[in-house]
């Protein structure tokens, strides 16, 4: 493994070979950008030659221009509003999900009391909550953040409960031998052992938080990327709609990458395919 | 009154009796091996002594004190190392640091004794099977137990590593004058390490032979005295229809 790496570095290689083989972080980034770059160039060429109607699908250059103009006209306000909502909703939902999961995972009594209800509620589609939330909270920030929190709650709850219940009994016995009480057992063994599941839950929750954000903002908002989407539709501006979609994709990916980075750092101890790949790369 | 008194009148799993009428007295610093057919209840007996198993009739008494549940004076080494994968070697050894003063010095000392110096920052996934089991033994010794229980601790490592670990355990037992109860299915291991070999047999399991290993220490693996003791253990296993 080590030899292969040094050989690779020593040999004179073409640019394309380097793009595919190297373990360099920048190269990985380049490989990830390859597909979007191809699609965007294709769309641009197709629009130039009139193969697709730019009234329906504006070329990437037009969308870039729109983004540029929006940047001078309140785009930051929209992005700020959306990011703030996702952050607030995600944090609230994740904390509640984690809290409930720990209680349910630790106590059979609590599980019997709470879990059936939560399992039933998780089957309710997100949009079904909207009328109720609007009735209860009006149309200001509260219903939006509540909805995002709801979306973030369930994946965290489900994954962490599952993670705690699947902790190896053999490790728990070690804790028992050392006379750990229930609280110490949770803090020192169950939670660390369930950490991979916590991160799975958090990352799913973050994805759903963006989804619920758009749903909430489409329905009632005067700010935010979801508002930009519906505004673009109402004013027949597909470039604005696509620009908003693009921004949501970029923000979603960026936030997920941040979380993934934390996950990789926190789970370095794991002996899995993923950590092996990481070790070979660096 | 002896150091450690184990009495199990009956132990059942779902109405199926697994152990019955067991009396064992172990002296301070004695090394006792439990051998017997698979499934005869050796692990269960060890778990009763450790306090992990409390649903039985009988009693375990350590230095005159009747034990109920887990005792800080009893350490347990499992068949697998059972290290916490998220903690490094030093953190694993010092897992129970709250009950030991000067934990860092203790860790350094145990690392040296176990031949693990330099590995304190390593994660369990980076250790070989033998190294991992040595970390587990160090973790068991960390709390200064009076009694160390080991359940087939070397059965998952290769033959050479096993010999090295046996030597290490013999050394540790001498050094710390610690009482050891060792479950093993390896007669050579039992004879080499123990002052007494206790054969568990029958259904439900009970003590069918209790053999004193009168051997000079340090022991040599191929000495005639040791081979004679080995033969006596095999004779006991034969008459109990275990082999
Ligand atoms: N938790 C348990 N529940 C039910 N039966 C068990 C349990 N643990 C062990 N047994 C049974 O008790 C008997 C003794 O098991 P064990 O003490 O593990 O034997 P040994 O260690 O001597 O191989 C076996 O028949 C086993 O099936
Ligand atoms: Mg066993």
Q: Do B125 and A271 touch (CB under 8 A)?
A: yes
- The number of angstroms, rounded, from the C-alpha of A236 to the middle of its chain's C-alpha atoms is 30
Give yes or no: residues B97 and B160 share one domain. Answer: no
CB of B18 shorter than 6 A to ligand 1: yes
Long-range contacts (CB closer than 8 Å, 24 or more residues apart) made by A235-239: A237/A66, A238/A55, A238/A56, A238/A57, A238/A58, A239/A58, A239/A62, A239/A63, A239/A65, A239/A66
Give yes or no: residues B193 and B163 share one domain. Answer: yes
Give yes or no: residues B235 and B161 share one domain. Answer: yes
Q: Give the residue-averaged pLDDT of A17-38.
A: 78
| pLDDT tens-place string over residues B32-81 | 999 999 999 999 999 999 999 999 999 999 999 999 989 999 999 999 99
Give yes or no: residues B49 and B62 share one domain. Answer: yes
Q: Do A178 and B96 touch (CB under 8 A)?
A: yes
Read off the pLDDT band of A11 (50, 70, 90).
very low
| Position A7 pLDDT exceeds 50 | no
| Position B85 pLDDT exceeds 90 | yes
Could you write out the DSSP letters of every residue in A129-173?
A: HHHHHHHHHTTSHHHHHHHHHHHHHHHHHHHHHHHHHTS-HHHHH
CB of B17 shorter than 6 A to ligand 1: no
Give yes or no: residues B10 and B103 share one domain. Answer: no
Give yes or no: residues B152 and B45 share one domain. Answer: yes
Last residue of a domain, one of B144, B167, B184: B144
Give yes or no: residues B91 and B176 share one domain. Answer: no
Give yes or no: residues B110 and B32 share one domain. Answer: no
| pLDDT tens-place string over residues B205-216 | 999 999 999 888
Closest partner residue to B76 among A177, A192, A269, by Cβ?
A177
Q: List, in order of start, the domains of chain A with CATH numbers.
A: 77-267 (1.10.3720.10)
Read off the pLDDT band of B27 (50, 70, 90).
very high
**Containing domain of residue B110, as a range?**
81-144
Ligand 1 centre to CA of B138 (Å) is: 27
Give yes or no: residues B92 and B164 share one domain. Answer: no
Give yes or no: residues B226 and B162 share one domain. Answer: yes
CATH number at residue B43: 3.40.50.300
Domain count for chain B, please give it: 2
| pLDDT tens-place string over residues A84-136 | 999 999 999 999 999 999 999 988 999 999 999 999 999 988 778 888 888 89
Q: Give the residue-averaged pLDDT of B135-157.
A: 94
Ligand 1 atom closest to residue B46's alpha carbon, by position in its atom list: 17
Give yes or no: residues B182 and B137 share one domain. Answer: no
Q: What is the C-alpha to C-alpha distance for residues A185 and A82, in angstroms, rounded to an integer?
A: 39
pLDDT computed for residue A22 by the predictor: 56
Give yes or no: residues B196 and B184 share one domain. Answer: yes
Q: Do B76 and A170 touch (CB under 8 A)?
A: no
Across chain A, which distance is largest between two alpha carbons, in Å?
75
First to last CA, chain A: 11
| Position B2 pLDDT exceeds 90 | no
């Amino acid at each position: 493994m080590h030899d292969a790496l040094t050989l690779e570095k020593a040999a004179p290689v073409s640019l394309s070979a380097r793009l595919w083989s190297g373990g360099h972080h920048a190269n990985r980034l380049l490989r990830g950008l390859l597909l979007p770059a191809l699609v965007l160039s294709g769309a641009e060429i197709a629009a130039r030659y009139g193969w697709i109607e730019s009234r329906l699908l504006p070329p990437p250059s037009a969308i870039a221009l729109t983004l540029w103009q929006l940047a001078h006209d309140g785009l930051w306000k929209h992005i700020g509003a959306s990011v703030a909502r996702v952050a607030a909703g995600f944090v609230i939902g994740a904390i509640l999900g984690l809290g409930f999961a720990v209680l349910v995972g630790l106590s059979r009594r609590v599980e019997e009391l709470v879990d059936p209800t939560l399992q039933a509620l998780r089957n309710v589609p997100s949009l079904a909550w909207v009328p109720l939330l609007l009735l209860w909270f009006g149309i200001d920030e509260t219903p939006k953040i509540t909805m995002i929190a709801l979306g973030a709650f369930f994946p965290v709850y489900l994954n962490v409960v599952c993670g705690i219940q699947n902790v190896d009994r053999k490790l728990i016995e070690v804790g028992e031998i050392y006379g750990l009480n229930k609280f110490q057992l949770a803090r020192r063994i169950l939670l660390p052992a369930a950490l991979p599941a916590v991160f799975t839950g958090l990352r799913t929750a973050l994805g759903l938080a963006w989804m619920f954000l758009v749903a909430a903002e489409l329905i009632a908002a005067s700010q935010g990327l979801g508002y930009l989407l519906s505004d673009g539709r109402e004013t027949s501006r597909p470039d604005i709609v696509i620009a908003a979609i693009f921004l949501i994709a970029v923000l979603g990916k960026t936030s997920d990458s941040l979380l993934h980075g934390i996950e990789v750092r926190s789970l370095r101890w794991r002996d899995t395919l993923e950590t092996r790949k990481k070790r070979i790369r660096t | 009154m002896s150091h450690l008194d184990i009495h199990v009148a009956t132990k059942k799993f779902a109405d199926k009796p697994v152990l019955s009428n067991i009396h064992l007295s172990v002296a301070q610093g004695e090394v006792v091996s439990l051998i017997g057919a698979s499934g005869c209840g050796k692990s269960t007996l060890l778990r009763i002594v450790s306090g992990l198993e409390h649903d039985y009739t009988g009693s375990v008494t350590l230095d005159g004190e009747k034990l109920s549940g887990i005792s800080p004076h009893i350490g347990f080494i499992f068949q697998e190392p059972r290290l916490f994968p998220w903690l490094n070697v030093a953190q694993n050894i010092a897992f129970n640091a709250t009950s030991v003063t000067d934990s860092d010095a203790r860790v350094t000392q145990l690392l040296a004794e176990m031949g693990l110096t330099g590995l304190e920052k390593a994660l369990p996934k980076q250790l070989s099977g033998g190294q991992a089991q040595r970390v587990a033994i160090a973790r068991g010794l960390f709390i200064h137990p009076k009694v160390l229980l080991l359940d087939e601790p070397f059965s998952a490592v290769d033959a050479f590593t096993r010999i090295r670990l046996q030597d290490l355990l013999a050394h540790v037992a001498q050094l710390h004058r610690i009482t050891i109860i060792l479950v093993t299915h390896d007669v050579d291991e039992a004879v080499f390490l123990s002052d007494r070999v206790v054969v568990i047999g029958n259904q439900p399991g009970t003590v069918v032979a209790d053999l004193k290993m009168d051997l000079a220490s340090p022991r040599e693996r191929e000495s005639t005295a040791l081979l004679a003791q080995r033969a006596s253990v095999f004779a006991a296993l034969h008459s109990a229809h275990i082999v």
